């Protein structure tokens, strides 16, 4: 019966390895695969030793046995660490591999040096080859190594059972069995059954357990299962390239979406097909250059009445990136929704714009009404706010086309200043009626009271506009109200600003305000002729007004005079 034991164990181990090969998947743990490779090798050594008829054949079989014996327990340890998701550092893994390799090399010295076996003798017992040996110091190292690997394996299983909830308890239990059975067969079986080696049977048992583990892992492997389901469903396309944009392959779905892929040859550059390279290479380059930007990793492929979403990502093996992958999915429902949302967004935006313009007009009418209300208290300035706004319009549009140094005039600036011009005298609301409505010239004391309207106007405008979202208009309007009476030479009020310290909008408003005062009739004076007004304005350039605006004023003077003549004619 013993004669058939070793061949039977070897045949069973080969059969179980064959079964594992049938259920093997690319994402299966490499260490489990090595287990199924090493066990038949070790059992082959036991079978050849039992069938040996000479010491030389027995020693050769013994070396084959130790090839499995020295590395199998290490591979089992690494498999357990991998399945328990415990990461071993590369130096530690290499150190253990080096130890196993050194012990295996030492086993090859048997029969030549007394390091692994001190003495060895071959004999046949009942037709079975047996090596009688006296163990040497390096064999003790072998025992220590095997026992160390066993302790580490059991420790990893126990630790994972206590601390790692995401690992199946059934798998942890299955991992425990081969370790215990193999150690019992190795250290205890030889004492209980010295005439037969129980290790081959323990190894076959280990294969059976690892087959069960593999089947369970395939069930628990969410990532692998999902990927296979996606690939087989026909809904998802896959294309892969190396780092130099060489085409490595695609599935049938990808070739259906992009028929040009059928003309590509595996391992050849994508550039060989102009039609497909013009589409795909820019996407690959975009991903390569902007991997940190997730928005650069997806692209839409329109085809007939459908839309496909192509996501570009890295092609990795472990931590190393060696190419690029494209995953193509049907995005028609989302793109249709996006298109519908886009149309709805445009309609909503149009409605918002309409309501916004309505609110803007209401605000402008409110401001104008406040300015008219203030103006109605002033006997001397009837129609002033409307006229100055028109003058400001003429000046700003002229400046837009021929802006001098220091002025940055945009269409937005022009519109804001025209809108802010009626607010320049809002501060007069705080002036006493007795002064504001006086039908004659002011006394020095009254004039001092009147001059306070500039600072008060800045404060009022600030309060009116402090909650607006348009900070630029807020600042410009406040500057117009507060600083339109400042003078270029610094003798103006309320802050005695000088030169370019005066905001540009206030310098422009000053020209409009003074020009209107000169050519308009007031209760304390008659209107001046255009020539006299022009002389005063020209003389004030450099003292009262910014000299850089002199040329602009000259350009618009004919339009100003025509405008005021039209008002006089209409009146």
CA distances, 36 to each of 42, 74, 78, 197, 212 (Å): 11, 13, 14, 20, 13
DSSP labels, 14-57? HHHHHHHHHH--TTS-HHHHHHHHHHHHHHHHHHHHHH--SHHH
Q: What angle do CA 521, 525, 527 make, to 5 degrees?
A: 40
Residue identified by tokens 């039992």 is: 50
Residue identified by tokens 């492929």 is: 301
> What was the pLDDT predicted at 274?
77
Peptide bond into 494 cis (omega under 30): yes
Q: Which runs of E-coded beta strand occur in 243-391?
A: 247-250, 298-303, 306-317, 320-330
Give per-residue pLDDT as tens, 218-248.
654 444 444 555 555 557 888 888 888 888 8
- The dotted CATH code for 352-570 is 1.10.3210.10
* Domain assignments of the chain as residue spans, ordered by start: 2-220, 228-330, 352-570
Which is it for strands 247-250 and 306-317: parallel, antiparallel or unpaired? unpaired
> What was the pLDDT predicted at 223?
46
Residues of the chain with pLDDT under 70: 1-3, 26-27, 166, 189-191, 194-195, 218-234, 291-297, 317-319, 334-335, 338-342, 344-345, 355-382, 436-437, 523-524, 570-571
Question: Could you give the CA distance from residue 318 to residue 333 in angstroms, rounded to a whole number?
Answer: 35
Contact of 269 with 246, CB cutoff 8 Å: yes
Question: Could you give the CA distance from residue 365 to residue 357 in angstroms, rounded to a whole number?
Answer: 12
Q: Look at the domain 228-330 and name its fold.
A: Beta-Lactamase (3.30.450)
CA distances, 527 to each of 22, 109, 313, 522 (Å): 108, 125, 78, 7
β-bridge partners, 300: 309
Question: Could you give the CA distance from residue 323 to residue 310 in angstroms, rounded to a whole number?
Answer: 16
- Rounded to 5 degrees, φ, ψ at 382 are -60, 125
Question: Could you give the CA distance from residue 541 to residue 554 in angstroms, rounded to a whole number?
Answer: 11
Sequence-ordered list of residues with C-beta below 8 angstroms from that of 565, at least 6 positions apart, any chain: none
Question: Could you give the CA distance from residue 383 to residue 38 in angstroms, rounded to a whole number?
Answer: 104
Question: Could you give the CA distance from residue 154 to residue 147 in angstroms, rounded to a whole number?
Answer: 11
Which CATH class, in words, describes the domain spanning 2-220?
Answer: mainly alpha
DSSP character for 303? E
Q: What are the start-end ranges of the H helices in 185-269? A: 189-192, 199-220, 222-233, 252-257
> What was the pLDDT predicted at 368?
62
Question: Could you give the CA distance from residue 541 to residue 511 in angstroms, rounded to a whole number?
Answer: 10
pTM of the model: 0.45
Contact of 213 with 174, CB cutoff 8 Å: yes
């Amino acid at each position: 019966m013993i004669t058939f034991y070793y061949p039977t164990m070897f045949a069973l181990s080969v059969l179980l390895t064959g079964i594992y090969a049938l259920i093997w998947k690319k994402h299966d743990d490499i260490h489990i695969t090595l287990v199924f490779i090493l066990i038949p090798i070790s059992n082959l050594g036991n079978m050849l030793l039992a069938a040996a008829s000479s010491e030389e054949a027995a020693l050769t079989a013994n070396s084959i046995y130790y090839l499995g014996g020295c590395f199998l327990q290490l591979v089992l340890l690494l498999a357990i660490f991998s399945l328990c998701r415990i990461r071993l550092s590369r130096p530690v893994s290499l150190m253990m591999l080096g130890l196993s390799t050194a012990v295996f090399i030492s086993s090859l010295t048997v029969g030549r040096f007394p390091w692994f076996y001190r003495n060895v003798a071959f004999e046949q017992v009942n037709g079975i080859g047996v090596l009688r040996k006296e163990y040497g110091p390096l064999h003790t190292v072998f025992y220590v190594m095997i026992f160390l690997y066993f302790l580490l394996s059991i420790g990893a299983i126990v630790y994972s059972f206590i601390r790692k909830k995401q690992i199946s308890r059934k798998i942890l239990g299955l991992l425990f069995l081969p370790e215990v059975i193999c150690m019992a067969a190795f250290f205890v079986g030889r004492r209980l059954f010295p005439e037969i080696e129980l290790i081959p049977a323990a190894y076959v048992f280990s294969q059976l357990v690892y087959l069960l583990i593999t089947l369970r892992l395939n069930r628990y492997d969410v990532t692998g299962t999902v990927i296979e389901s996606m690939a087989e469903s026909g809904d998802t396309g896959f294309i892969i390239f190396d780092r130099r944009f060489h085409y490595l392959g695609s599935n049938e779905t990808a070739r259906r979406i992009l028929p040009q892929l059928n003309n590509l040859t595996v391992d050849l550059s994508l550039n060989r097909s102009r039609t497909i390279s013009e589409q795909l290479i820019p996407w690959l380059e975009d991903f390569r250059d902007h991997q940190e930007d997730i928005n650069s990793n997806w692209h839409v492929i329109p085809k007939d009445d459908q839309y496909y979403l192509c996501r570009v990502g890295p092609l990795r093996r472990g931590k190393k990136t060696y190419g690029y992958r494209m995953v193509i999915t049907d995005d028609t429902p989302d793109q249709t929704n996006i298109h519908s949302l886009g149309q709805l967004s445009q309609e909503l935006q149009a409605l918002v714009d309409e309501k916004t313009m309505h609110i803007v007009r209401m605000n402008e009418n409110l401001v104008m009404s406040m300015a008219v209300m203030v103006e109605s208290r002033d006997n001397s300035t009837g129609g002033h706010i409307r006229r100055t706004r028109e003058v400001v319009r003429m000046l700003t549009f002229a400046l837009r086309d021929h802006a001098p140094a220091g002025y940055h005039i945009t269409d937005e600036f022009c519109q804001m200043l025209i809108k802010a011009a009626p607010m320049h005298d809002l501060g007069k609301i705080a002036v006493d009626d007795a002064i504001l409505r006086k039908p004659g010239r002011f006394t020095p004391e009254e004039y001092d009271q009147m001059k306070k309207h500039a600072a008060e106007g800045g404060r009022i405008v600030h309060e009116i506009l402090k909650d607006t979202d348009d900070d630029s208009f807020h600042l410009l309007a406040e500057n117009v109200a507060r600083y339109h009476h400042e003078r270029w030479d610094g003798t103006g009020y309320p802050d005695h600003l000088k030169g370019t310290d005066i905001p540009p909008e206030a310098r422009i408003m000053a020209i409009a305000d003074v020009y209107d005062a000169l050519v308009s009739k007031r209760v304390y004076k008659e209107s001046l002729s255009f020539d006299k007004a022009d002389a005063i304005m020209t003389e004030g350039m450099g003292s009262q007004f910014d000299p850089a605006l002199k040329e602009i004023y000259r350009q618009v003077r004919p339009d100003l005079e025509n405008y005021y003549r039209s008002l006089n004619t209409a009146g």
